[in-house]
Chain A
Amino acid sequence: MNAWSSKSMRAALWYVAFCAVAYFVAQRQLLGLCSDERHAVVRELVRGEQSAEVLFIGSSQTARGVVPAVFDARASELAGREVRSLNLSTLGNARHIAFLTLEKWLEHHEAPRAVYIDCGVTSDLPEYPHETLARFMDASDALRVLGTHPYLARDHREFARRQKDPPLVDPLGLFRELDRRTLHLELALDVLGRGAEDCVRAAFNAALNSAHRPYWKPGVSAFDEVVAAQVAERGFLRIAPDSLEGQEGKLKLAAQAARVSFEDAVAAQWKGEDEFASPERFAATREYAVELARLCRAHGIRLVFLDQPNFRGRPLRPSQIEFYESLAELCSQDKSVLYREESFQDPGHLSVQGAEFASRALAEHYVRSAR
C-alpha cells in the first residue's frame, strides 16, 4: 500500500495543518503577526498631540523609574519656565527600539531639547530581529532595519550555550576548535535563514496593519485600564506595592539585600570579564547607540545616556562608561542615596517613592547641565 494514500498519513497531514493554524494563533505576537502590546503605550503617546521638551526612552527600569509629572514640576521650578517631558519606555527595550521610537517621534513632532536613553541592563538584551519586529510601528520599519542593519541577526546566545556544556574529554583541544568552527558556520546560516524568515513575518505584519488593527490586545481584561493609566501618567508605569507583582518584587529585594551589603554595592566596580568590548555580543547595542547620537546631532537634540540604578547590583562596565561618554553625556544616578531599600520595588526597578526621588534628581541634572 502507498503510504501517502493511507488514512493514517492523511490524518498526520491534517494534524500538521491544524497545528500550524493553532501555532500561528497562539504565537501571533512572537511571529510578528501583530504589534506587541508592550508598545501600545508608546504608540498612543507618539501618535498623540502632546509635545515634550524632554523624552525618556528605555526599558522597564525607566518606565517604572521616571515620573514625568514629578520631573516637570521640579524642572519647571528650577528653570523658571514650564518644562514638559514624556516617558516613552517599553518593557524589555533594547537600543534599536529606542532608536526607532525616537525616529518615529520625530516624524510626528518637533525635536525635543533633550533625550535620555537608558543604557544600563538594556545593553545586555540579546534580541533577535524577529523578537523585536512586533514592537516596530509598522512592517516598513522592520524591513528597513533588516535591510540596513543586518548585524542585528548576530547573537551571543550560542556562545553561552556552548560554554555551559564543554566537552568531557578534549586533550588536544580538538572539540573546542571544532565547536568554534561550526559555530561560525551556524551563525552564518542563522543570518541567511533568518533574513528570509523575517521578511515573511514582516509581510504578515504589513497585511495586518493594512487592516487597521492598532495593536494586539492580550487576554487580560485590565489591559485597557493599564494602558489608559500609563498614558495618563505620560508613560510612567505605576506598580502598586500591594499588588502581586509588588509583593513578589519585595521578596526578591529582601533576598538581594541579604546577599549584597550596602558598602559593597556602593564601592562595587566591574571586575569580571569586560564583555562589552566584545563586538559579537554587543554589536547591535553599540551600533544603535552611534545611530542615536547621529540622529540627535542631526536634529540638534541633547543626548544623555542614562544609567538607571539596580539595587546593589552590577554597575556599568568601564568600557561601557568609556563608550557612552565618547558619544554623549552619561548620567548615573546617585547610588549612595538610591541604594536604600525603600527606593526599590525589586532589585531591578525603583519603587514609586524611589522613582519620584530619581525624577527630581534627573530634573536637577537636566536644568543644571543645560546652563
Chain B
Amino acid sequence: MSFNSTEFVFFFLAVVFVHWAIARWTKARYLWLCAASCVFYMSWNAKFIVLIVLSSLLDYCCGLALGRTERAGQRKALLALSLVGNLGLLGFFKYFNFFAENVAAGCARLGFEGAARWVPWEIVLPAGISFYTFQTLSYTIDVYRRQLAPTRSLLEFMLFVTFFPQLVAGPIVRASDFLPQLARPARFDESQAARGLFLILCGLAKKVLLADTVGVQLVEPVFARPESFGAGGIVLGVWGALFQFYLDFSAYSDIAIGAAAILGYELCLNFDRPFLAQSISEFWRRWHMSLSTWFRDYVFLPLGGRGAHRLEFLRNMMATMFLTGLWHGAGWNYVLWGLMHGVFTFVGVAFRRPQTKEQLDARPLWERVARRAWIFNLVALSMLFFRNGTLAEGKRGLQGSFEMLELLCSRAAGSAALSSSGLIALAVAAVIHFTPKRWIHERARDAWMALPAPVQGLGLCVFTGALAALSYAKAPFIYFQF
C-alpha cells in the first residue's frame, strides 16, 4: 500500500476518522494507530512485522533496563545488545549477500574453487528495515547517553517505531521528538491539519506528475542507452536523475509529514530545497536531514568530529560517508557515492574558512549562482554512480557509470531525441525548486486554504482521480528499496 495508491487514500481516511472519533481515549487512540500501522506495513509483506516487533521489544527492554542500572559495565552491555541485535538483523537482510559475494570473489581469486560456485541466498529485504532500525537504535543510544528518559509504556514505544507515515521510508524520527508528543492530550488543530493536507497534495503531485515523468520519460532511457543520447543527453539525464531522486523522496517525506500533521503529530523536516546549497556541507544540511543528522550525532561526532587536525577530520568524515553510502544499499556504487561526498565535504570544509549563512548570502548574486551550479553539478556527478546501482532496469554497476563518464568526457554526439514531456517536467521541477517559496508554494497554499470545504472536497476528488489516471503504473517510491 504505497502513498500514491488509491488504497492508501481510503486507508488513511479511515484511520483519520476513527482516530479523531476516539481522540478522548488516549490508549484506544494509540492502539488504533498501532494496529493501523501494522496493517499498513503488513500490506507489503505480512511476515516481516515480526522483525519490527522483535526489534521494538529489544530496544524497549534495553531502554527500561538502562533506566534501572547505573553500573557502567551493565549499561555498555545493554547498549551492545541493542546494537548487535538491530544491526545484526539489518546486516543479515541487507548486507549478507553483498559481503558474502565479495568474500567468495576474493577467495575465488586466491584459488579456492568452491568459492566461485557460491550462489547468493534468496533474501527478501524487509520494507523500511533501514529506517526503523536507525530509529530504534537512536532511542537506546539516547537513553544510554542519559539524553532521554526511557518510556515505560510499550504501547507508546511501539507507536513510535511503527507510526505508519514514517515507517517505510522516513523521516527517521527521534524518540526525543516523538515520545513527548504522545504525552500531550490530543487536540485537533485546524491550521496544522490544513497545512498537512496541502503537503500531501504537494507530495502526490511531486511524485506522480514530476518525479515519475522525469524518471520514466527522461532518466530511464538515458541510463539504459547512454550512447544513443550523447554527452548532452547524459548531462540532462543525470540532472534528471538527481531531480527524480529529490522529488521522489521529498514527495514521500511531504506526504509522511502531512499525514502525521493531520493526525496531530509533527515529524521533522527532511528536505529543504537542497539544490540551493552553496557548499557540500550545506547540501547535507538540506538533503535527507533526518539521516544526515543521525550519522552526525551517532557516528561522526562520537568518532571525534572535526578532530584536532585535518587527517583526523578526513578519517571521521570518510568513515561517516562510507557508512552513509552503505546505508543506501549493498553495492560498491553506493559506497563510492558516499566516499565521493566524503571527499567533497572534506575539501570544502578543511581548506576553507567556515562561513555563516549570513556571510554566504551576502555574497554577490553571480557568485551565489555559480556556487550553487557548482555544487549541483558535483552532486549530479555522484548521482551518476548512485543511479546506476539503484533501479533494476538501469542496473549497470560501476562499469556502466564509468562508461557514461567516458561518453560524457568524449563529448560524443547522440542520435536519439530526449522526450519533450520529460524535459518539460524537469524544467517545471527546476522552476518550482529555485523559485522562492512565497512566490508559488505559499500562494498556492493560501489559495487552497481559502476555498470552501465542498470545493476542497471536489478539488481533491478531481486531483486524486487525475493523478490515478496519469500515474506511471503506480511506480513505487525509490527509497522503499533502501
The answer to whether A and B belong to the same complex is: yes
| B23 located at the interface, meaning its Cβ lies under 8 Å from any Cβ of chain A in the complex | yes
A1 to B458, CA, bound (A): 24
Binary contact readout A172-201 vs B (1 if CB under 8 angstroms, 0 otherwise): 000100000000000000000000000000
A8 to B261, CA, bound (A): 12
Which of the listed residues B23, B124, B453 has the most CB atoms from chain A within 10 Å of its own CB? B453
Do residues B188 and A19 form an inter-chain contact, with CB atoms below 8 A?
no
Do residues B460 and A11 form an inter-chain contact, with CB atoms below 8 A?
yes
Chain B residue at smallest Cβ distance from A9: B20
B1-57 contacts to A (CB < 8 Å): 13, 16-17, 20-21, 23, 45, 47
Q: Which applies to chain A's interface (DSSP): helix, strand, loop or mixed?
A: helix
Q: A8: which of B21, B124, B194, B454 is its contact (CB, 8 Å)?
A: B194
A12 to B190, CA, bound (A): 13
B318-342 contacts to A (CB < 8 Å): none
Do residues B190 and A14 form an inter-chain contact, with CB atoms below 8 A?
no
The distance from the CB of A17 to the nearest CB of chain B, in whole angstroms, is 7
Residues of B near A12 (CB, < 8 A) are: 13, 16-17, 457
| A239 located at the interface, meaning its Cβ lies under 8 Å from any Cβ of chain B in the complex | no
Do residues A15 and B189 form an inter-chain contact, with CB atoms below 8 A?
no
Binary contact readout B191-213 vs A (1 if CB under 8 angstroms, 0 otherwise): 00110010000000000000000
The distance from the CB of A154 to the nearest CB of chain B, in whole angstroms, is 23
Do residues A15 and B457 form an inter-chain contact, with CB atoms below 8 A?
yes
A22 to B460, CA, bound (A): 12
Residues of A near B457 (CB, < 8 A) are: 10-18
Do residues A2 and B188 form an inter-chain contact, with CB atoms below 8 A?
yes
B123-151 contacts to A (CB < 8 Å): 124
The distance from the CB of A122 to the nearest CB of chain B, in whole angstroms, is 30
| B309 located at the interface, meaning its Cβ lies under 8 Å from any Cβ of chain A in the complex | no
Give the number of A-B contacts (CB < 8 Å).
64
Q: A14: which of B47, B124, B193, B454 is its contact (CB, 8 Å)?
A: B454
A2-51 contacts to B (CB < 8 Å): 2-4, 6-19, 22
Q: B188: which of A6, A15, A22 is its contact (CB, 8 Å)?
A: A6
A22 to B10, CA, bound (A): 14
Residues of B near A279 (CB, < 8 A) are: none
Do residues A167 and B461 form an inter-chain contact, with CB atoms below 8 A?
no
A15-B460, A168-B47 known; A3 vs B188 contact (CB < 8 Å)? yes
A14 to B17, CA, bound (A): 13
Chain B residue at smallest Cβ distance from A6: B190
The distance from the CB of A161 to the nearest CB of chain B, in whole angstroms, is 11
Do residues B20 and A10 form an inter-chain contact, with CB atoms below 8 A?
no
The distance from the CB of B459 to the nearest CB of chain A, in whole angstroms, is 9
Interface residues on B, range: 20 to 34
Do residues A11 and B456 form an inter-chain contact, with CB atoms below 8 A?
yes
Q: B187: which of A1, A4, A9 is its contact (CB, 8 Å)?
A: A1
A165 to B262, CA, bound (A): 34
Do residues B190 and A1 form an inter-chain contact, with CB atoms below 8 A?
yes
Do residues A11 and B197 form an inter-chain contact, with CB atoms below 8 A?
yes
Interface residues on A, range: 20 to 34
Residues of B near A19 (CB, < 8 A) are: 461, 464
The distance from the CB of A201 to the nearest CB of chain B, in whole angstroms, is 19
A16-B13, A168-B124 known; A10 vs B188 contact (CB < 8 Å)? no
Residues of B near A7 (CB, < 8 A) are: 190, 194, 453, 456
Do residues B190 and A8 form an inter-chain contact, with CB atoms below 8 A?
yes
The distance from the CB of B445 to the nearest CB of chain A, in whole angstroms, is 13
Residues of A near B454 (CB, < 8 A) are: 10-11, 14
| B465 located at the interface, meaning its Cβ lies under 8 Å from any Cβ of chain A in the complex | yes
Residues of B near A6 (CB, < 8 A) are: 188, 190, 193
Do residues B197 and A8 form an inter-chain contact, with CB atoms below 8 A?
yes
A12 to B124, CA, bound (A): 37
Q: B23: which of A3, A16, A18 is its contact (CB, 8 Å)?
A: A3
Do residues B453 and A3 form an inter-chain contact, with CB atoms below 8 A?
no
Do residues B47 and A175 form an inter-chain contact, with CB atoms below 8 A?
yes
The distance from the CB of B447 to the nearest CB of chain A, in whole angstroms, is 14
The distance from the CB of A259 to the nearest CB of chain B, in whole angstroms, is 25
A15 to B197, CA, bound (A): 12
Q: Which applies to chain B's interface (DSSP): helix, strand, loop or mixed?
A: helix
A141 to B135, CA, bound (A): 57
A19-B461, A22-B465 known; A8 vs B262 contact (CB < 8 Å)? yes
Q: B193: which of A8, A16, A165 is its contact (CB, 8 Å)?
A: A8
Do residues A15 and B461 form an inter-chain contact, with CB atoms below 8 A?
yes
The distance from the CB of A175 to the nearest CB of chain B, in whole angstroms, is 7
A9-B20, A167-B47, A175-B47 known; A14 vs B456 contact (CB < 8 Å)? yes
Residues of B near A11 (CB, < 8 A) are: 197, 453-454, 456-457, 460
A175 to B454, CA, bound (A): 48
The distance from the CB of B150 to the nearest CB of chain A, in whole angstroms, is 31
Residues of A near B190 (CB, < 8 A) are: 1, 6-8
A124-158 contacts to B (CB < 8 Å): none
B194-252 contacts to A (CB < 8 Å): 194, 197
Residues of A near B465 (CB, < 8 A) are: 22
A167 to B453, CA, bound (A): 46
Residues of A near B21 (CB, < 8 A) are: 4
Chain A residue at smallest Cβ distance from B190: A6
Residues of B near A168 (CB, < 8 A) are: 47, 124
The distance from the CB of B240 to the nearest CB of chain A, in whole angstroms, is 33
Do residues A1 and B124 form an inter-chain contact, with CB atoms below 8 A?
no
A150 to B250, CA, bound (A): 50
Residues of A near B124 (CB, < 8 A) are: 168
Residues of A near B197 (CB, < 8 A) are: 8, 11
The distance from the CB of A41 to the nearest CB of chain B, in whole angstroms, is 30
A9 to B190, CA, bound (A): 9
Residues of B near A3 (CB, < 8 A) are: 20, 23, 188
The distance from the CB of A164 to the nearest CB of chain B, in whole angstroms, is 12
Chain B residue at smallest Cβ distance from A12: B13
Q: B20: which of A4, A17, A18, A22 is its contact (CB, 8 Å)?
A: A4
Do residues A18 and B458 form an inter-chain contact, with CB atoms below 8 A?
yes
A168 to B456, CA, bound (A): 45
A3-B23, A7-B453, A10-B453 known; A18 vs B461 contact (CB < 8 Å)? yes
Residues of B near A2 (CB, < 8 A) are: 188
A18 to B457, CA, bound (A): 7
Chain B residue at smallest Cβ distance from A165: B45
Residues of B near A14 (CB, < 8 A) are: 453-454, 456-458
Residues of B near A15 (CB, < 8 A) are: 13, 456-457, 460-461
Chain A residue at smallest Cβ distance from B449: A7
A269 to B427, CA, bound (A): 60
Chain A residue at smallest Cβ distance from B264: A3
A2 to B193, CA, bound (A): 12
Residues of A near B464 (CB, < 8 A) are: 19
The distance from the CB of B398 to the nearest CB of chain A, in whole angstroms, is 31
Residues of B near A165 (CB, < 8 A) are: 45
Chain B residue at smallest Cβ distance from A2: B188
A6 to B20, CA, bound (A): 11
Interface residues of B (CB under 8 A from A): 13, 16-17, 20-21, 23, 45, 47, 124, 187-190, 193-194, 197, 262, 453-454, 456-458, 460-461, 464-465
Q: Which 4 A-B pairs have the closest CB atoms?
A: A14-B457, A3-B20, A18-B461, A3-B188
Given contacts A1-B187, A2-B188, A12-B16, 14 further A-B contacts (CB under 8 A): A3-B20, A3-B23, A6-B193, A8-B190, A10-B454, A11-B197, A11-B456, A11-B457, A14-B454, A14-B457, A14-B458, A15-B457, A168-B124, A175-B47
27 A-B pairs whose Cβ atoms sit less than 8 Å apart in the complex: A1-B187, A1-B190, A3-B23, A4-B20, A6-B188, A7-B190, A7-B453, A8-B193, A8-B262, A9-B193, A11-B453, A12-B13, A12-B16, A12-B17, A12-B457, A14-B457, A14-B458, A15-B457, A15-B460, A16-B457, A18-B457, A18-B461, A19-B464, A22-B465, A167-B47, A168-B47, A175-B47
